[in-house]
Amino acid sequence: MEPNAGTTEARSNRTPSEGDEVAALESLQFTDEIHRLISAPPTDNASSFTALLELRAPQAIQLLHSPESAKLIAAPAPNVEDFKGSFHFPSNNGLIERAARFSVVSAEGNNNNNKSNSPETTSNNSSANLLKAVKSEPAETESSQPLVSVPTVEKRSIKRKDREKKVKGSTKKRKTAAYESSEDAEKLPYVHVRARRGQATDSHSLAERARREKINARMKLLQELVPGCNKISGTALVLDEIINHVQSLQRQVEFLSMRLAAVNPRIDFNLDSIFTAESGSLMESNFPSMVMPLMWPEVQVNGSRQQYQQQWHFDALQQPARGREEVCNNYITPENSLLSYDSSANSATLHSNQLKMEL
Amino acid sequence: MRPPSLLKQEFLKKWIMGLQRCSSTKKNMNILERKKAIKLSADVAMASSRNGTTCWSRALIANASKDGNDKHLVEQILGPESERLIVKKVSIGALVCNKRIRSKKILKRSCGIRRTRKCVPQVALASSIAKWLVRKRTQVLKSLIPGGEFMNEVCLIKETLDYIISLRAQVDVMRSLASASEQVNHS
């Protein structure tokens, strides 16, 4: 009660131009509605704002100005009364909002870092969740997390307050500001725009600012994805790092394809032979975990290689006798294991399946 | 976003299938041909795992299909039906992008006369220097990402994110396959 009484007094003090009696009457009428609205659950901010906006536009702004600020802003009461003191809010709330957003993003990343077991997939998991965060960015404000909702509500109130400051004057301007604010309230999931003091509030600059903020949010994600970009500040240097990273990845693909070409004279890689060979490093890498589920499709694919069987048939007959100590014929081993897979269908498949199960 | 292991599995499956189709068509390739075939099938497999949702994947497949030698390989790797879908999207995208590029070039030429004085950054404003640097970097990034010249800044950054993740998965799979094959051959 006490802050509301204070606000009504402050409001009546601050708006002498409207006529004291009218303002006082209106303010008294609206305190009841304010009480009702404030008693509504604070998490359900979107609906409370739209409820406020159903009121007449000019009074809605006045309502939004004082009770929301009294309810939400932790700053002491003098800020409510001191009209000019509120220009500190944008910077604070900008930081709060950004911190909230990135704490949400990093929290998701951290949660998955804790959950996942293998260290090498943590970066991929966090990047995946960061991407999820990007895609759910439009729905951010509707999340029930109190961490996010409070700063956005504060931001909304600040936005309206700023707009009101700039249009203190004719009612026509106030109406347009209210309409803008109402439009933004409906589009709030998509437009996260902060109107700072002294900046224009027309739709072009708003759209541009929204675009800028989208770009900056994505740049932050990129910074977290590319290793070593976290400490760098400045778009040009971050872009430099990103370019270097992409170039190095592309070069690695080139080198690896060269390496693979050098390994085999024929470019069909028989995963079956890779499994039948006993090599300790294979077990450590996650290659088996990747490839194990692929074994069954191999059965059908290998059927297309029937045409090459005739040439190597005699080798296929010798292969079971050779055993694994035979090293010299690099060319033949992959082919033979492949063809023994094909030719002696049932027994070979059973044998290879048993080996896969062991692995 | 799918978990990376699923992405890698899918990539590996498509890649091996593509390689086997490549080898069935040509015998006795020299090392450079092999390397090209490996890289091509890897890139196409990676791009097709995106199912045409991202711009870079479509552009990559489009570039691969343009070259006459590789076109049938691309078709084989992708499979008949998906290839039609992607090629349709790609052709439409290519048309739109070409128009966009042409109009941008016309604009640049018309403004070029005015701009020639300003292309060198003026020393006075630090912000203008910063903007110029960022513009230069963005151009480089656009040249790196397949199909990047057609994108605006917002899309470019999103595509870069996706592209980096896919490249990382591709490198991981290729590296493990290479080391495994070398182990098999040396053991």
Q: Do A235 and B134 touch (CB under 8 A)?
A: yes
A35 pLDDT more than 70: no
Residues contacting B135, CB < 8 A, separation 6+? none
Percent of chain B beyond pLDDT 70? 72
Q: Is the pLDDT of residue B180 over 60?
A: yes
Angle between helical axes of A295-302 and B4-25 (0-180°, round to 10): 10
The pLDDT assigned to A268 comes to: 65
User: Do the beta carbons of residue B130 and residue B116 sit within 8 Å?
Assistant: no
CA distance B142 to A274: 39
In the predicted model, is pLDDT for residue B51 greater than 80? Answer: no
| pLDDT for res A15 | 45
CB A261 within 8 A of CB B174: no
**Would you tell me which residues 116-135 of chain B have a C-beta closer than 8 angstroms to some C-beta of chain A?**
130, 133-134
Q: For residues B18 and A336, which has the higher predicted lDDT (pLDDT)?
A: B18
Q: What percent of chain A has pLDDT over 70?
A: 19
Find the Cα–Cα–Cα–Cα dihedral A180, A184, A186, A188, rounded to 10°: 180
What confidence tier does B1 reach under pLDDT thresholds 50, 70, 90?
low
Helices A332-343 and A295-302, packing angle to 10 deg: 80
The pLDDT of residue A330 is above 80: no
Partner-chain contact B158 A218, CB within 8 Å: yes
Question: What residues of chain A lie within 8 A of the CB of B2, using their CB?
Answer: 128
For the ranges A163-177, B32-46, B80-94, the lowest mean pLDDT is seen at A163-177
In our burial notation (b when 16+ CB lie closer than 10 A, e otherwise), range A164-176 reads bbebeeeeeebeb
d(CA B29, CA B26): 7
Q: How far apart (Å, rounded) are the C-alpha atoms in residues A43 and A322?
A: 73
User: Given CA atoms A108, A114, A117, A119 in this order, what sign does their dihedral have?
Assistant: positive
CA-based nearest residue to A157, from A218, A78, A96: A96
pLDDT in tens, A204-233: 899 999 998 998 888 888 888 888 888 888
B32 pLDDT band (50/70/90 cuts)?
confident
pLDDT of residue A359: 43
Give the HSE-up count for residue A229: Cα atoms under 13 Å, Cβ half-sphere. 21
- Model confidence at A250, in pLDDT bands (50, 70, 90)? very high
User: Is the Cβ pair A245, B19 closer than 8 Å?
Assistant: no
CA A327 from centre of chain: 51
- Residues in chain B closer than 8 A to A282 (CB atoms): 180, 183
More confident: B97 or B42: B42
Does the pLDDT of residue A249 top 90, yes or no?
yes
Task: Name the strand (E) or helix (H) holding B82.
Answer: helix B80-115
Closest-CA distance, B162 to chain A, in angstroms, reads 9
The pLDDT assigned to B97 comes to: 58
Mean pLDDT across chain B:
77
User: What amino acid is encoded at B133 in this protein?
Assistant: L
User: A65 pLDDT band (50/70/90 cuts)?
Assistant: low
Q: What is the pTM of this model?
A: 0.50
For residue B42, the model assigns a pLDDT of 83
Could you tell me the two tokens for A189? 């999931």
* pLDDT tens for each residue of A167-218: 444 444 444 444 444 444 444 566 666 666 767 778 889 999 999 899 888 8
Sequential DSSP letters for A27-54: HHHHHHHHHHHHHS-TT-HHHHHHHHHT
Residue in chain B nearest A276 by alpha carbon:
B184
Interhelix angle for A89-115 vs A203-225, to 10°? 30
Asked if A42 contacts A62 with a C-beta cutoff of 8 angstroms, the reply is: no
Residue of B nearest to A308 (CA): B24
pLDDT at position A248 is 94
Q: Cβ of B130 and A260 within 8 Å?
A: no
A122: tokens are 């943590």
Mean pLDDT value across residues B40-67:
80
What tokens does B124 get? 């006075």
Mutation target vs B (from A290, A298, A336; most B CBs, 10 A cutoff): A290
Is the CA virtual torsion B120, B124, B127, B130 positive or negative?
A: positive
Compute the average pLDDT of residues B115-142.
Answer: 78
Residues, chain B: 187
Is a pLDDT exceeding 50 seen at residue B173?
Answer: yes
Contact A258 B35 (CB under 8 A): yes
Contact yes or no for B38 and A236 at CB 8 A: no
Q: Which of A86, A70, A57 is nearest to A5 (CA)?
A: A70
Which residue did the predictor score with more confidence, B125 or A93?
Answer: B125
Chain A residue with Cα closest to B182: A263
pLDDT at A14: 44
Cβ–Cβ of B178/A259 closer than 8 Å? yes
Whether the pLDDT of residue A133 is over 60: the answer is no
Q: Which of B49, B176, B186 to mutate to test the interface with A (most CBs of A within 10 A)?
A: B176
Interface touch A246/B153, C-beta < 8 Å: no
Q: Residue written as tokens 């009428």? A: A29
CA pair distance A83, A96, nearest whole angstrom: 21
| DSSP of B23-38 | HHH--S--HHHHHHHH
Name the DSSP class of A64.
I
Percent pLDDT > 90 in chain A is 5
